[in-house]
Structure 1
């Protein structure tokens, strides 16, 4: 079960969500043919005899797809089956020329596993049932034809890894957080490019509601959610719709539904099939898929550091908390940027604050990835150094950061001097200014000695004003306390 606090109830109902995610694997060719995988080509130009289901054309397994399935299994601590079986999933649709889809049913290649993530600072976990290899179907085209449809088989046979969860999620926010974490994992290890608009990462949400403690409710499957924004909207609507139906005395019918982003509503597409409806049976054209332990261990040794492992290292090496380490490992690029800043500044926590703060804020505002940051890691490292050694204050550092971001200068020290932001380092000069402030504010001095903390803050403000903000606030506080003792 998901590690959750008691479930958040919606109008007295508990929300139950499970996910099925189709991740398109990053192989150059299809799952059972040598036809190329690609996006945007002219219809039916990336399909072979196997994809067209021409008589006598036989499938041949793509080893690269198996390799990527192994990598995913290792990334989520799953069991990699030494032997798995391909099956025929029988259904009839125009974009499925064979009349069946080659998939895996009873014995999938990846079994079990766990995806962990944070939501509002709380650690969550979602159990995986399985991840199995299967081929994609083609695509029906309706827009360019009057009274008829066209079929494009470019996608037919494209390798997919379908990742199925237990119904562990108890809110739509938790479900979206899971989807984002899964997206991070598959893109991090490089098995999927994660492009949701092109269909490389497609999520189906199985949504149901129930009264607390009751049996699981009837689920409706919301298909092909291709953005996190629409995913949230679709599930929120579906939850409200199901509750309204139950409250009005109607039973929920198991169904497959689509989300219409224009109306913000889901609509039923067809009744939901069960496994028996597909008449699965082992594909006689494909032998069992055998994966040796040596292959698994070789893959394990060659994989790059995983997000959860890197996050643990950040906590151990840099003294960061769970949340910071998780945020900084949202992508390889973010993690690399942070480490470069931390190494340049030797101030890991301060570096973390700036990467998650000012840098992220600017990137989000301009809809940029961190690879396109206008402030390099070396520049931010130099800036963090100047904050840590007391050369500039935090407020002055933001001015320097703004100038770096807009390209006003490339050198941190030059910008500090050009803008006159260097903090006062002459203790004697600062003491003289403080003496003048105390002499000019006798009433405040008397109030401080009488125990009024607000009066002390007023003296700090006067001292900072007298130094035109160039004094180190901590030093001002220390000197004032000393002189007022």
Structure 2
């Protein structure tokens, strides 16, 4: 059998962070008591008329620019007709034939390689309500607070070939949405979610029938769902069967997908133009102004960090994923006073750990680029050791201040005095006969224990490189 290849496309839905809903003045908030953020418009009561929120359209144009899409100066709203209890109007106002954003593309980095993922379209629509299932109640409850919350849907071309590439794309989209400040992307609140399309075919042959996975509630679930679906379809093809076009429900607890409906039972949404809303019209000057508000985005930053700064993919993502961290890094590097790698290591390591542990943003700390650069310089000169630098950085984050003063106040200045290092090496050799014997018997990794003991004696102030060299010299020459 010829080699099989997987083909993956995504449909990403993101709630927009506007203050009000898409077609009415109800507040766009999460976590309020059920059915308290509703009005006759979002409840779909007879006789009500929608009014389009302009900010929603502006946000859609911004993400369109970020993904290099063609912006349609004239688009329209459509009705997507289907019945479900969470949709009180029995139709959803969306966009079908003429969305705000047309074709585009974005570059992702996966496994060290750059791949371009095509964007088919980006359109705006309203969200539906939420069905609640309670163990203390036999039926199903409906909370309509989410009705009318503005959404964008980003539809990709089938350009991804693995779950890793799909995950890289999803992470990048989340970063971009945050960068341009149009969605909080809180997956635990359902403000970003996706549907996944997967097919498997023999390389060089036409694409196979795709299966769509619904109910994918996290990026990690998307990865597991894609891998399961690739395995399932590969098994069918390998055994001589034919994959049918289906919509399947992903059960993340069980790690399986189950059939929802097949091609013959596919829903016909019977789209038609929304009669209660006019065309969405943008003048070219306004489209241009929105583009000028877009900062350098994480996809460009990642590629720049990997190509120009020699970063590993994972390090570049950690820095580029946060607008604050990337700004701090770029400001440090732009001074030309410290090495790129030193600044990157502090940001990827201790600074990211602090932010994760405390939940604080960098703007909530006292750390700035001047302080971090000074610390990097002190570390590179050997003025302070790795452990000492961590203590200094902790002080910079909490209180700020002058690095030299903090080093003196904390007593963490690194001692590079040759006589001190020599004396320390002799003391450790005398006190650790077993490790000395192991080293001289060929177990060279025993030097690590001796260096550790010496650093402990010096309370972390000895120059570890000088110390290691002194120990090696004595162990190799003294018997």
**Structures share fold, TM-score greater than 0.5:** yes
Residue 236 to residue 409, structure 1, CA distance change in 2 (3 Å): same
- When the two chains are superposed, the root-mean-square deviation of aligned CA atoms in Å is 4.1
Identify the match of residue 178 of structure 2 among 174, 179, 187: 187
- Separation of aligned partners in 1, 2:265 and 2:94: 15
Are positions 1:246 and 2:226 aligned together?
no
In the alignment, is the contact (CA less than 8 A) between 2:367 and 2:396 conserved in 1?
A: no
- Separation of aligned partners in 2, 1:225 and 1:259: 6
Identify the match of residue 386 of structure 1 among 378, 381, 385: 378
Give the corresponding residue for 1:5: none
The alignment partner of 1:242 has SS state of helix
The alignment partner of 1:115 has SS state of strand
Give the corresponding residue for 1:350: 342
Give the corresponding residue for 1:41: 32
1:215-257 superposed Cα distances (whole Å, 9 cap, x missing partner): 2112111123222222212221222122223334443232222
In the alignment, is the contact (CA less than 8 A) between 1:344 and 1:382 conserved in 2?
A: no
Give the corresponding residue for 2:103: 112
In the alignment, is the contact (CA less than 8 A) between 1:93 and 1:99 conserved in 2?
A: yes
- Separation of aligned partners in 1, 2:166 and 2:44: 37
In the alignment, is the contact (CA less than 8 A) between 1:222 and 1:234 conserved in 2?
A: yes
In the alignment, is the contact (CA less than 8 A) between 2:108 and 2:299 conserved in 1?
A: no
Residue 169 to residue 367, structure 1, CA distance change in 2 (3 Å): farther
1:99-143 superposed Cα distances (whole Å, 9 cap, x missing partner): 211111111101112222222322222110000011111222332
The alignment partner of 1:222 has SS state of strand
How far off is 1:394 after superposition? Answer: 4.4
- Separation of aligned partners in 2, 1:360 and 1:186: 20
Give the corresponding residue for 1:441: none
- Separation of aligned partners in 1, 2:306 and 2:224: 35
The alignment partner of 1:106 has SS state of coil
Identify the match of residue 157 of structure 2 among 158, 163, 166: 166
Give the corresponding residue for 1:278: 269
Are positions 1:76 and 2:63 aligned together?
no
How far off is 1:338 after superposition? Answer: 2.4
- Separation of aligned partners in 1, 2:41 and 2:399: 58
The alignment partner of 1:94 has SS state of coil
- Separation of aligned partners in 2, 1:279 and 1:471: 74
Identify the match of residue 101 of structure 1 among 88, 92, 98: 92
Q: Which moved more, 1:327-336 or 1:18-27?
A: 327-336
Residue 334 to residue 382, structure 1, CA distance change in 2 (3 Å): same
How far off is 1:425 after superposition? Answer: 5.9
Give the corresponding residue for 1:136: 127
- Separation of aligned partners in 2, 1:48 and 1:120: 49
Give the corresponding residue for 1:333: 324
In the alignment, is the contact (CA less than 8 A) between 1:424 and 1:472 conserved in 2?
A: no
Give the corresponding residue for 1:3: none
The alignment partner of 2:178 has SS state of helix
- Separation of aligned partners in 1, 2:52 and 2:9: 30
Identify the match of residue 232 of structure 1 among 202, 211, 223: 223
In the alignment, is the contact (CA less than 8 A) between 2:196 and 2:212 conserved in 1?
A: yes
1:56-104 superposed Cα distances (whole Å, 9 cap, x missing partner): 1111111010010111111111111010111111112122222211111
Residue 183 to residue 199, structure 1, CA distance change in 2 (3 Å): same
Residue 374 to residue 303, structure 1, CA distance change in 2 (3 Å): closer
- Separation of aligned partners in 1, 2:231 and 2:268: 29
Residue 34 to residue 272, structure 1, CA distance change in 2 (3 Å): farther
How far off is 1:19 after superposition? Answer: 0.2
- Separation of aligned partners in 2, 1:312 and 1:173: 17
Q: Which moved more, 1:243-252 or 1:416-425?
A: 416-425
Gaps of 5+ in 1: 1-8, 437-454
| Equivalent pairs, count | 447
How far off is 1:28 after superposition? Answer: 1.4
- Separation of aligned partners in 2, 1:89 and 1:273: 19
1:290-309 paired onto structure 2 within 5 Å: 290-308=281-299
Gaps of 5+ in 2: 427-443, 474-479
- Separation of aligned partners in 1, 2:128 and 2:391: 54
Give the corresponding residue for 1:448: none
Residue 369 to residue 182, structure 1, CA distance change in 2 (3 Å): farther
Give the corresponding residue for 2:193: 202
1:371-425 superposed Cα distances (whole Å, 9 cap, x missing partner): 4998934654332121123323446545766x75998998754665577654456
Q: Which moved more, 1:24-33 or 1:126-135?
A: 24-33
Residue 91 to residue 395, structure 1, CA distance change in 2 (3 Å): same
- Separation of aligned partners in 1, 2:401 and 2:105: 45
Residue 207 to residue 187, structure 1, CA distance change in 2 (3 Å): same
In the alignment, is the contact (CA less than 8 A) between 1:340 and 1:377 conserved in 2?
A: no
- Separation of aligned partners in 1, 2:303 and 2:164: 25
